Structure 1
């Protein structure tokens, strides 16, 4: 894959390695400047430090291992394809925009604000993302395993998502998403998944007020709800089996819900047609 080795070097300024191909960078520092490796291909970066802006734009086929992207390298990876990033710390915001086919494993994103926008073919494994407001907007074809996410408004307008074994601390998550499945995860935050389509939650624990409202095609399989998860499922179409207790369910639009126990089922004049959702309270042996 690589032809030319560059080791123990420092670069700065405008485009010092512009449009080069077949490089292996080891222990290289990219100081302040712009577009250090723009329009490159077949690049390996190991043990490197990135301080300047936009270093890897329009890059094709590249590997990043054991590197550091400082805050100054904001917007470092845009318009690029075929990235493998491992054991790397990213301190810069606004990373990964308009990209295709990216795989992150054992990566820490310490300032993930507005990161991963308009990307296709995303695979995350063992990733932590902090300060991650608006992460992963307008993305598609996403596979995630063991993500710890701290940041609001995540996954908005994204589609074709599978998430496993993750902890998502995020208000307004999954708004307007299409075709999302979450397995064995904890989802904490208010107003979960409003206006989503074909969301499936399997063995998940959900906290936060007013979850899962205005959903179309919602499926809940053996999920549990926290003590603050009230006024759930308003105006949603849902097929669900809920374990344990839920504080309150309000005006589910249609479908079937089986639940162990519920504090209150609110059906009022504002319920939307067809207004035929059946709620079976198993411990009380009642059907509403």
Structure 2
């Protein structure tokens, strides 16, 4: 494998169509698409300062590197990429890609990043920005810290563990979701979704978990949560209290206490939902 060390690249498509390179301690500066149609590229301690740094590539390894704030649309149409100990400062990074592994990666402006991707592993990632992770299929997420609205919209086949997700409208239009040991805070959590399970989670939300089919909560806490479960089918085992629930479509809801139960007979058939408070 050819090694490139301490280089400063300028000019469009600086390493176009290159194969089997080990790039160390180098800077890709003020021109577009430095790595395009490349294969088997090992990147370490590098900086990308302009748009479209990694496109139409395969088998990319990136470590201890930075995609700067002008490196917009940084990683698109890539098959098999692993990034570790890397900072991504630009929005709209990682789209239309598959075989993605991110470990100790920070998205300082993760707006509209990780879209329409498949086969994704996330481990100890921190991200800030709206519309993170949209229309993805097959995600294993551990230790994510996310601040941003409209995250995980339209995702499928996702497992989340030990994560903190802050922001409104998370997990809309999603399917086959399991979330373990996590904290989720934000208005309108999880609407229009199917087959969503939360285990040992804490959720704070207004009008959350509505219009969802087959919603399961096991040993979950719902502090400061009100007007939940509207038009949802739900099997919920809630530790402690919930402020209010409104018009669930059916199922079983257990809680130590419920501040208010709103069941509008003109909207739902109340007999289809069993509500148990304090074990009674």
TM-score band, normalised by the shorter chain?
over 0.9
Gap runs ≥5 in structure 1: none
Residue 43 of structure 2 is aligned to residue 45 of structure 1: yes
In the TM superposition, structure 1's runs of 4+ consecutive aligned residues that sit over 4 Å from their partners are: none
In 1, distance between residues paired with 2:266 and 2:10? 63
Q: Aligned partners of 1:62 and 1:273: how far apart in 2? A: 55
1:158 positional shift: 0.8
Instruction: Give SS of 2:239's match.
Output: strand
Structure-1 residue corresponding to 2:131: 134
Match of 1:144, SS state, is strand
Indicate conservation of the 8 Å contact 1:243/1:260, yes or no. yes
- 262-271 vs 22-31, greater mean Cα deviation: 262-271
| 1:207 is the counterpart of 2:194 | no
Of residues 176, 190, 196 in structure 2, which corresponds to 1:193?
Answer: 190
1:14 to 7, 12, 30: 12
Structure 1, residues 42-80: CA drift from partner, whole Å, max 9, x if none?
A: 000000000011111001001000001101111110000
Q: The residue matched to 1:33 in structure 2 has which SS?
A: coil
* 1:257 alignment counterpart: 253
Q: Is the 8 A contact 1:22 1:41 kept in 2?
A: yes
Give RMSD over aligned pairs.
1.0
CA shift digits 1:227-284 (9 cap, x unpaired) = 2x1111111101110110100011111111111111111111343358511011125x
Q: Deviations over 1:75-127 (max 9, x none)?
A: 11000011110001110100000000000001111000000000000100000
Which residue does 1:233 correspond to in 2? Answer: 229
Partner of 1:278: 274
How far did residue 16 of structure 1 move? 1.0
Contact 2:263–2:270 at 8 Å: present in 1 too? no
Please tell me whether residue 99 in structure 1 is matched to residue 97 in structure 2: yes
Taking the TM superposition and a 5 Å limit, the aligned residue runs for 1:24-63 are: 24-63=22-61
For residues 21-50 of structure 1, give each alpha carbon's deviation from its aligned partner in whole angstroms, at most 9, with x where no partner exists.
Answer: 000000010001111010000000000000
Q: Does 1:183 align with 2:159?
A: no
In structure 2, distance between residues paired with 1:31 and 1:232: 50
Q: 1:275 to 1:17 in 2, by over 3 A?
A: farther
Task: Show CA shifts across 1:122-176 (max 9, x none).
Answer: 100000001x211111100000000000000011111000000000002101101
- Alignment partner of 1:88 out of 81, 86, 98: 86
CA shift digits 1:170-221 (9 cap, x unpaired):
2101101000000000000000101110000001111121110111000000
- Secondary structure of the 1:32 match is coil
Q: Structure 2 regions of 5+ residues with no counterpart?
A: none
8 Å contact from structure 2 (residues 146, 164) kept in 1: yes
Give me the TM-score of the superposition, normalised by structure 1. 0.95
C-alpha distance in 2, partners of 1:128/1:269? 45
CA contact (8 A) 2:32 2:51 kept: yes
